[in-house]
Amino acid sequence: MSKTHKQSAGAGHGKRDSFSSSLGMLAATLGSAVGLGNIWKFPSMTGSNGGATFLFVYLACTIVVGLPVMISEIMLGRTVKANAITTFKKLSPRRQPWGLVGVAGVIAAFLILCFYTEVAGWVFAYIFKGLTGTVLTTDPQVASAAFGKLISSPMQSLVWQWIVLVTISFIVTFGVSKGIEKVTTKLMPILFCLLVIVGIRSLTLPGASAGLKFLFTPDFSKITGTVILMAMGLAFFKLSIGMGTMMTYGSYFRDDQNVPMTATKVMLADLVVSLLAGIAIFPAVFAYGFDVTAGPSLLFVTIPAVFASMPFGSVFVVIFFVLAAIASTGAMLSLFEVPVAYLCEARQMSRKGAVLTTALGVTILGAPAALSNSLTANVTVFGKTFFDLFDYISSNLIMPTGGLCICLFTGWVFGREKIKKQLSNNNVLHNKAIITVFTLLVKYVTPILVGMVLLNMLNVF
């Protein structure tokens, strides 16, 4: 990478950090995409929305909507080499308010962190409880009571969230290459191995085939507007797009990286992880006759109960939650980096100061979300607890709207010439067809589809 690029875009403190190797870049980006979305949201939403039908819609959303947005973000970030807000500001014509998309992104990162750190806290707690044997029961009611006890204790909810925040802050303080990249490069292979182990265990149980059938046989009559909105929201959440995370990570990409190829690899690998998580969960749930539509508690009630029914159950419970903790760590690192990069570059803070400010912000704003099953359980806004509200605003409002704006910006403001230059790495790569299809998607297809889903949500149709 050229020196000028490294120092460009108002980086507040000297040389700008970047991913040091292709493998590290891939691990960090995949680490951002893979997370509780695969292990907690994907199975519970698939389970509650008809299995394979939901999976089919989700797949379509990932390819037609998710991939173009992800490529756009990485490309824009790499062009300017700055945080999301500065990237938009630098690229947008005078007096056009595109910077607001970046601002919405930083807000979304905060909102997601508020509830995400709480779920990650439960995961951390379950590793500990798995090791001490306190969550091992084959009775779903006892499992449910154990989970209820954890989430309804204000002290436990807050403390586990803080433990997560301290862990993530510690890693992010070391920077992009020495912190985020180093950690995710080590964790990602472990995650894959653990998933395969649990998947094989689940598939070899008697009666497992019903779970596979549930996951892979669609019933198209079940597709509704709500299913599409939810699947699209999940696609955005899963690929960490529509709110500046991929843009921020893209700003750490080297200029010789093949952006469309990297984005496609990340999308496919993320899909594989989701499917592996589904394969690890559904066959086991069916084999032991548990309820697949258990929603978010699928992870914390059904899974421990299912694994406890197996030989060496406690080992599998711990493995499962360790892999969930690994997955959530990579995602939280990337969420943190969005405000941290902004605070360092545009507000001239030191990295430590920016991390502390972010962690403090999440501690304060995250507390009402963490207490949503105890002290703030009765405080609702639009009928939703803080936890659900933060999730809804980020996944179903900011991310799809942000994705829509990012596509329009890429297609109509950034424009074909610059897209061509960026995606071909200055005519080094011969990917004309990819560029043509991509331009068509971001200019017309993706914005129209996302726009329709959003209008449908507002009951316009």
Q: Give least dist CB 116 to ligand PHE, A.
A: 7
Cα-based distances in Å from 427 to 117, 260, 265, 421, 430: 42, 14, 22, 6, 7
Please state, in angstroms and rounded to a whole number, the distance separating the CA atoms of residues 66 and 70: 6
* CA–CA separation, 267 and 357 (whole Å): 32
* Min CB(73)–ligand PHE separation in Å: 11
Residues in the chain: 461
77 binds ligand PHE (CB under 6 A): no
Q: Could you say whether residue 32 binds ligand PHE (CB under 6 A)?
A: yes
**Should residue 238 be labelled a site residue for ligand PHE when binding is judged by CB under 6 A?**
yes
Residues 296-325 that bind ligand PHE (CB under 6 A): none
Toward ligand PHE, which CB reaches closer, 98 or 237? 237
Q: What would the two tokens of residue 324 be?
A: 């969930």
Which among 99, 90, 94 is positioned nearest to 9, based on CA atoms? 90
290/144 Cα distance (integer angstroms):
13
Report 97-126 residues binding ligand PHE (CB under 6 A): 112
| Tokens (6 digits) for 423 | 């995606």
Residue type, 334: S
**Which member of 9, 28, 36, 123 binds ligand PHE (CB under 6 A)?**
36
Which range touches ligand PHE (CB under 6 A), out of 150-158, 212-220, 236-244, 285-293? 236-244
Q: Which of 18, 417, 11 is nearest to 179 (CA)?
A: 18
Strands (E), 148-215: none
Q: Which stretch binds ligand PHE (CB under 6 A): 31-39, 147-155, 307-315, 453-461?
A: 31-39
Chain position carrying tokens 């490309």: 75
Asked if 413 and 95 count as a contact pair (C-beta separation under 8 A), the reply is no
Interface mask (CB under 6 A) for ligand PHE, residues 329-368, using x and -? --x--xx---------------------------------
Q: Which stretch binds ligand PHE (CB under 6 A): 96-104, 135-143, 235-243, 413-421?
A: 235-243
Binding mask 243-262 for ligand PHE (x = CB under 6 A): --x-----------------
Distance from C-alpha of 461 to C-alpha of 451, rounded to nearest angstrom: 12
CA gap 292, 454 in Å, rounded: 28
- Closer CB to ligand PHE, residue 106 or residue 284? 106
Of 150 and 271, nearer to ligand PHE (C-beta) is 271
Name the minimum Å distance from CB 283 to ligand PHE. Answer: 22
Q: Which of 58, 237, 288, 336 binds ligand PHE (CB under 6 A)?
A: 237
Least distance to ligand PHE, CB of residue 396, Å: 13
Distance from C-alpha of 34 to C-alpha of 28, rounded to nearest angstrom: 10
The residue ranges that bind ligand PHE (CB under 6 A) are: 32-33, 35-38, 112, 237-238, 240, 245, 331, 334-335
